[in-house]
Structure 1
Amino acid sequence: MAEELKPDLCIIGAGSGGLSLAAGAVQMGASVVLIEGHKMGGDCLNYGCVPSKALLGAGRMVPPLSYADAQAHVRATIEKIEPHDSQDRFEGLGVTVLRDWARFTSPRTVEAGGRTIRARRFVIATGSRPFVPPIDGLEDVPYLTNETIFDLAEKPDHLIIIGGGPIGMEMAQAHRQLGCEVTVIEGAKALGRDDPDMAEIVVQHLRGQGITLHENTSAQAVTRSADGKITVETGQGPITGSHLLIAVGRKVNLAQLDLDTAGVEHTGKGVTVGANLRSVSNRRVYAIGDAAGGLHFTHVAGYHAGVVIRSILLGLPAKARTDHIPWVTYTEPELAHVGMSEADARAKYGGAVEVITQPFAGMDRAIATGQTEGLAKVIVHQGRPVGATIAGPQAGELIGIWALAIANSLKISAVANTVLPYPSLGEINKRLAGSYFSPRLFESAMVKRVVRTVQRFLP
């Protein structure tokens, strides 16, 4: 008979969300079982955020690294971070870690590693994997995904990438900077979920670096010749290269869990949950991160962990929201966004929306460092920022002040009143906020009358 464990909390998946939840819960006094069937740290550490940014960083080094050295830099980066996500660390915190695949055996039990776990609450944090589209001939051609591209030992002569989203565009730039010929095939618009004007700034920069980008172009079939060359047939003609990367999206990891046995409703997008991230059909089960069917970002999984810990451990009401979630594409220039898009804001608020822009070319620090390409934009409704997009150097860092403002419903005056060091790129945000007030102060006849009146009476 299998050994039975009875923890307060059983977490399935040791990626960003699962690890954050496990560490927080056990340190707050809960007993925790953490189950991971693959690698500790999940996709972000092993195949996603960490290796992709390390490869981008390697491509920007002066002098540039060889391709082999760049991949060695990726592995070394992962190895430096691994201990923080390791089984040893979490067992040291008091978490029971089981390294096996989990499956539900009833609405309140899970089996893994020859053990049965009967927990008070279960949290599904299984993340996602690359989605491979049904392209004719693809099953007979060797292709790469973000899970395999970092294992390449030799530099691709010509990398074809199907997918012009953040992963595809980041890998396109990284490989171009490392000396590869790169062609991107995108069925719609590249970086299509971002503000189109701002995305175009990044797209044009990448084209200028020599990346060939075919937008509104579908990959219809894939073949491989006798000499190993890979050809992608498109509606606009064939494209031939040495390697093929599939980067068209993600698929949630739920298939192995036997969710039907647990009475957990789910779709192809994830577990069906309420705003509190609790399963609508099994109150013992929660889902966080990609498994919850929402935004697929590592920081969202961490945020979700903080939401459910309030409910699971403290019995407090807590709901997840999405209006304050930022995201970044780490190309050069970077593309960052938080809140509503300009189009969505106009659709919701109509004419009561103000859009303010500020080019990096007008910023002293950008001029001094030669980083003048880019633009920052903020959308304001009734004196409060409701959305912001930045395309430019360090956009991922600069978007933070707008994420703070939107998360806390701050007025744009809070940013205008902030004193920032000179010269810094961060001044672009203060200048944006100042631009909101400038016409109200400097173009107002009433303000001018008040000033003249006050000046007459001042001693």
Structure 2
Amino acid sequence: MADLKADLLVIGAGSGGLSVAAGAVQMGASVILLEGHKMGGDCLNYGCVPSKALIASGKAAHAQAHADAYGVANQKPKVDYAATKDHVADVIATIAPHDSVERFEGLGVKVITEFGQFISPTQVRAGEDVISARRIVIATGSRPLVPLIPGLDEVPYETNETIFRLRDQPGHLLIIGGGPIGMEMAQAHIRLGSKVTVIEGAKAMGQDDPELAAVILEKLRAEGIEIAEDAMASHIRGKAGAVEVETEDGRVFGGTHLLMAVGRKSNTEKLNLEAAGIETTRTGIKVDAGLRTTNRRVYAIGDVAGGLQFTHVAGYHAGLVIRSALFGLPARQRTDHIPWATYTDPELAQVGLTEAQARGKFGANVEIVRFNYRESDRAITERKTTGFIKVMVVRGRPVGASAVGAQAGELINLWALAIANRLKMKHVAGMVAAYPTMGEINKRVAGAYFSPRLFDNPLVEKVVGFVQRWLP
């Protein structure tokens, strides 16, 4: 047994923990990093990276089958499902060295491949080692939430932690959960040749702006995905290759495979938080605006902090903790500038307030400005004219933006920048966008905000008339 000391102890080597460790050690702090499972965490191994890789395979297959609009003959794709998983594995392997033990040890971080458990407010046991640190960061992330549905424990099922290792293509994939994970996997699998049924206890994509969600759901249904809403699963039965899900209203859905995609649960069980005086909530570890737990020496970041569960949020939290723990500077998290996206085709993205939230907060002071993809020259050339962007504006300043359409996840970043830095619509309108690009849509929606202020405006007409009449 060894007694180790460090300026900073990081528990968990997902995106947030890795960002803290790398930043802190390069700024001169001594850092110990604990990871009892896989470096890179959920994002690299089971989440963002593999899901987007599989979605890319689905897009490639879909493009072959729908090429005639571009003057290219449609071809029925020959999908090798196992090969798509080889593609996924290769993508993970390509990125993995960036998150590896070797890289972080090369930076000067001491990496211990063990889970951490608090034994006092300032000490953590990891295997045979006891670590004392001035500051501790918990970045243990989250895992799939598997509800206690009768019969589920007797039936084989997949989660996002297992679906990317599945080599045999599902003939008919049942997905319980109509949120982002469920919908992304539904579209990927139907494009790869599986039948898909999504079973949602409330409304599919119910956390999103309903106007945007309707565009996505219409497209998914058009591609052949069965989406059952208000279908709360009450019993599951069957065996490998033949699974049935019965809902509270008596409907029964049968398929060959089952994917559980109903949400996430914070990873706190192994930490022995009571020994450190750290309180939890229903969603994760209790933190203040500076991400400190009820033990002032300990921070919690990312999914385990119980807030927005996105990889980029964990990275944002990491920057705040470095500011606070290393430099002693004030750092308070905010969420109004955090964007997120669902990577269906078309994509859906959001930052700041939705239309309903903005109207509820600002009432008649909010203006909603819109621009449709069908008016974008680049969208027309790409045959991707489904979608629109709308921006919620209060006294010239955007307070939220919603986008649905091709590359919506890319377009939303400009509005995240504007909201983060309290820019006004005039700053977006003043940008010169390359033509023809999808990014030009952002400038066009800013133009839509100013058009009624400039055109058919009697005051503007008088000013122009005066200038033309009297100036040489």
TM-score, normalised with respect to structure 2: 0.95
List per-residue Cα deviations over 1:20-60 (Å, max 9, x = no partner).
00000000000000000100000000000000000000111
RMSD between superposed Cα atoms in Å: 1.0
Summarize the alignment of residues 149-298 of structure 1 with structure 2, pairs less than 5 Å apart.
Answer: 149-224=163-238, 228-234=241-247, 235-279=249-293, 281-298=294-311
- Identify the residue that residue 351 of structure 1 maps to in structure 2: 364
CA contact (8 A) 2:378 2:437 kept: yes
- Shift in Å at residue 268 of structure 1? 3.1
Task: Return structure 1 stretches of 4+ with deviation > 2 angstroms.
Answer: 62-65
Of 59, 79, 89 in structure 2, the residue corresponding to residue 75 of structure 1 is 89
CA contact (8 A) 1:129 1:251 kept: yes
CA contact (8 A) 2:241 2:255 kept: no
State the SS of the aligned residue for 2:334.
Answer: coil
1:162 and 1:84 map into 2 onto residues whose CA distance is: 34
- Shift in Å at residue 261 of structure 1? 0.8
Q: Structure 1: 5+ residue runs without aligned partners?
A: none
CA contact (8 A) 1:232 1:240 kept: yes
1:16 and 1:359 map into 2 onto residues whose CA distance is: 35
- Identify the residue that residue 338 of structure 1 maps to in structure 2: 351
One-letter code aligned to 1:300: V
The number of equivalent residue pairs is 456
2:426 and 2:145 map into 1 onto residues whose CA distance is: 43
Q: Which moved more, 1:441-450 or 1:120-129?
A: 441-450
Of 439, 447, 460 in structure 2, the residue corresponding to residue 434 of structure 1 is 447
2:90 and 2:242 map into 1 onto residues whose CA distance is: 31
- Identify the residue that residue 16 of structure 1 maps to in structure 2: 15
State the SS of the aligned residue for 1:402.
Answer: helix
One-letter code aligned to 2:83: D
List per-residue Cα deviations over 1:276-317 (Å, max 9, x = no partner).
0001x2111000001111100000000000001001001100
CA contact (8 A) 1:338 1:402 kept: yes
One-letter code aligned to 2:267: N
Summarize the alignment of residues 138-157 of structure 1 with structure 2, pairs less than 5 Å apart.
Answer: 138-157=152-171
State the SS of the aligned residue for 1:150.
Answer: helix
One-letter code aligned to 2:80: S
Pairing 1:105–2:119 present: yes
Q: Which moved more, 1:449-458 or 1:151-160?
A: 449-458
Q: Structure 2: 5+ residue runs without aligned partners?
A: 65-76
One-letter code aligned to 1:291: V
State the SS of the aligned residue for 2:29.
Answer: coil
1:303 and 1:368 map into 2 onto residues whose CA distance is: 36
- Identify the residue that residue 456 of structure 2 maps to in structure 1: 443
- Identify the residue that residue 68 of structure 2 maps to in structure 1: none
Pairing 1:425–2:438 present: yes
2:42 and 2:250 map into 1 onto residues whose CA distance is: 34
CA contact (8 A) 2:287 2:305 kept: yes
State the SS of the aligned residue for 1:266.
Answer: coil
CA contact (8 A) 1:26 1:94 kept: yes
State the SS of the aligned residue for 2:164.
Answer: helix
CA contact (8 A) 1:252 1:268 kept: no
CA contact (8 A) 2:241 2:257 kept: no
1:238 and 1:265 map into 2 onto residues whose CA distance is: 42
- Identify the residue that residue 85 of structure 1 maps to in structure 2: 99
1:108 and 1:422 map into 2 onto residues whose CA distance is: 57
1:241 and 1:38 map into 2 onto residues whose CA distance is: 32
TM-score, normalised with respect to structure 1: 0.98
- Identify the residue that residue 43 of structure 2 maps to in structure 1: 44
- Identify the residue that residue 398 of structure 1 maps to in structure 2: 411
List per-residue Cα deviations over 1:212-234 (Å, max 9, x = no partner).
00112111110005x74100001
1:440 and 1:54 map into 2 onto residues whose CA distance is: 45
CA contact (8 A) 1:339 1:406 kept: yes
Q: Which moved more, 1:263-272 or 1:321-330?
A: 263-272
One-letter code aligned to 1:37: G
2:32 and 2:143 map into 1 onto residues whose CA distance is: 23
2:241 and 2:409 map into 1 onto residues whose CA distance is: 39
- Shift in Å at residue 236 of structure 1? 4.9
One-letter code aligned to 1:45: L
One-letter code aligned to 2:354: S
CA contact (8 A) 2:392 2:398 kept: yes
State the SS of the aligned residue for 2:276.
Answer: coil
- Identify the residue that residue 58 of structure 1 maps to in structure 2: 57
State the SS of the aligned residue for 1:335.
Answer: strand
2:331 and 2:260 map into 1 onto residues whose CA distance is: 37
1:300 and 1:203 map into 2 onto residues whose CA distance is: 27
One-letter code aligned to 1:410: L
Pairing 1:28–2:27 present: yes
- Shift in Å at residue 193 of structure 1? 1.4
1:126 and 1:414 map into 2 onto residues whose CA distance is: 39
- Shift in Å at residue 444 of structure 1? 1.2
- Shift in Å at residue 258 of structure 1? 0.3
- Identify the residue that residue 146 of structure 2 maps to in structure 1: 132
2:108 and 2:403 map into 1 onto residues whose CA distance is: 42
State the SS of the aligned residue for 1:386.
Answer: strand
- Shift in Å at residue 321 of structure 1? 0.5
2:435 and 2:382 map into 1 onto residues whose CA distance is: 14
